Amino acid sequence: MPDVAVVGGGIGGLSAAHELAERDLDVAVFEANDRFGGKARSMDATDHANPLHGEHGFRFFPAFYRHVTETMERIPDGTGTVADNLVETEETLIAEIDGRNRLANSSTPDSLREWLDAVQPAFAEDLPRKDVRFLIERLLYILTACEKRRERELDEVSWWDFIDAENRSPEFRDRLGYAVQALVALRPQVGSARTVGSIYTQLLLGQFDPNRPTEQILNAPTNEAWIDPWTSYLDSLGVDLHAQRPARKLNFDGQRVTAAVLADGQAVTADEFVLAVPVEVAPSFVTPGMARAAPELARIDRLDTAWMNGIQFYLTEDVSLSRGHQVYADAPWALTSISQRQFWTDYDVDGRGPEEVEGVLSVIASDWDTPGILHEKPARECTREEIATEIWAQLKTHLNTEERQLSDEMLVDYFLDPAIVETDEGVENRSPLLINTVGSLKNRPPADVGIENLTLASDYVRTNSDLASMESANEAGRRAANAIFDRRGISERARIWELQEPSLFEPFKRQDRIRYRLGLPHPAEVTQSLRSVTSRLSGSA
């Protein structure tokens, strides 16, 4: 009987176990898959004795990630730590069908010219000046709004409406409206202005912190660079790690969880339970009695999910493309990619899988509802093979405009996320991603719910980072651990960071707190209303 039983061994569950075990609590983790790490885990991609790795999608660590990177700094790996396996990117390739491909600097600016370039909104260099000015006004609205206004007003309006996308130029809609979807799977039409605006400003502000890299990725597949050293460290702390031991339900006596019942029928008892399963699985653990005791649990099934899944193409050549991400601005399936071998300095591609493999192009598709260019169907309606050939065709359309960078002869094999499973109608996704829709904040539970020995540790938990991500899952794990520390009188808490915004906006936020208490709108809201009315009048004239 452990002190704490953690149900789910993804980033949230492992993060909670990490904090608990370092305070000498006896912890057991029960994971349904054969590997730990959840959506971040690596999987065998080829049928070889020493296989290549495939993943749900490439890992991305922007500057505002604080919780997950601090945890990585505390995981030993050789003579250093797992954080040493993070590599800074230098540039982002923005590829367009018409051949106007360009590079955007993603490294930390170190000159006045680079800082001035960085202040320009992402993808906005060829937008009409009035659109750029309007976007800056919208971002200032976000940065000067008080927290209550963000939660109670901006969470109730979509990013699409907030940026007045329908009345902006087509370039504005294509570049700014959909940019967040490609980068962090936030749907512009349904994502709240609070979440999308906050994360968008964090991505931009990350370029101005000289003490932190703008964005980083791993120097090897996730399990080799991070998860395997992590589970080894947890094992050294005495954590009992049980892979392929899925839980099916929690027994609840009206006040406390009495056991976690595993699929094989074993009832695991513990003093405390941490539920760290994905958002689509969590409602199956919520009994009517638990919902009455903690109404927040009953609202989890109101949260929405979307599809953001990856595919790796294994190539005969190491096509580097750019020293960072590639964003395919016109791709109907909202593609992003990383050519990974240039970063995988500690991973021997030559000694794995087919001998002819020299390069690995990892691609994520974020739009599964728009018809493609090859099969002319949404990804949801395609077979797995059609998904692979469609994505390959969209890549070639963007990258072969001026010179041929990809050819069919290069393609050795591919690995599509196995969570994409074929059905009679197309495919289903058994590992969807939480999306922050309009008004969803009220349906996201805290880590410490109203059941005395149950906490939650997953990316749907209400966190400062407020995004379906490794960062939010790690923060949720820390919050779950802190609730347990409070119950047991343990004074050493896991650290929680607020999202950092420039202090120069604080006087404006204080002023807006007063306006909000008086029932007055934000000054920029008045400006927005006037613009919308003017636009409608001019359109009807």
Q: Where are the domains of the chain?
A: 4-55+221-304+439-488, 56-107+213-220+308-431, 110-211+514-526
Q: Report which of 109, 197, 106 is spatially closest to residue 150, judged by C-alpha positions.
A: 197
Q: How far is CA 458 from the centre of its chain?
A: 12
Residues in the chain: 541
Mean per-residue pLDDT over the chain, rounded = 89
Q: Report which of 13, 36, 17 is spatially closest to residue 27, judged by C-alpha positions.
A: 17
Could you give the C-alpha distances from 72 to 225, 293, 478, in angstroms and in order? 10, 36, 14
Could you give the C-alpha distances from 372 to 164, 303, 325, 519, in angstroms and in order? 27, 28, 22, 47
Amino acid, single-letter form, for residue 191 = G
pLDDT, tens digit, 9 for 90 and up, residues 350-404: 888 888 999 999 999 988 999 999 999 999 999 999 999 999 999 999 999 888 8
Q: How far is CA 154 from the centre of its chain?
A: 21
pTM tops 0.85, yes or no: yes
Supply the CATH classification number for the domain 4-55+221-304+439-488: 3.50.50.60
3-state secondary structure of 56: coil
Q: Report pLDDT for 170.
A: 81
pLDDT, tens digit, 9 for 90 and up, residues 202-257: 888 887 777 788 899 999 999 999 999 999 999 999 999 999 999 999 999 999 99
CATH architecture of the domain 56-107+213-220+308-431 equals: Alpha-Beta Complex (3.90)
Per-state percent for the chain, helix, strand, coil, to nearest 5: 40, 20, 40
Give the neighbor-by-neighbor strand order of the sheet with 454-456.
240-242, 27-30, 4-7, 272-275, 454-456
Q: Residue ranges of the alpha helices (H) in 442-505? A: 470-488
pLDDT-derived band at 529, boundaries 50, 70, 90: very low
Q: Report which of 277, 276, 275, 271 is spatially closest to residue 25, judged by C-alpha positions.
A: 271
Assess whether pLDDT exceeds 90 at residue 116. Answer: no
Cβ–Cβ < 8 Å for 353, 52: yes
Q: Report pLDDT for 487.
A: 96
3-state secondary structure of 306: strand
Assess whether pLDDT exceeds 90 at residue 527. Answer: no
3-state secondary structure of 234: helix
Helix 129-144, helix 523-540: angle, nearest 10: 150
Provide the 10 A C-beta neighbour count for residue 387: 28
Assess whether pLDDT exceeds 50 at residue 50. Answer: yes
Return the residue matching tokens 């809201």.
525
Distance in angstroms (rounded) separating the CA atoms of residues 524 and 281: 40
Distance in angstroms (rounded) separating the CA atoms of residues 254 and 234: 33
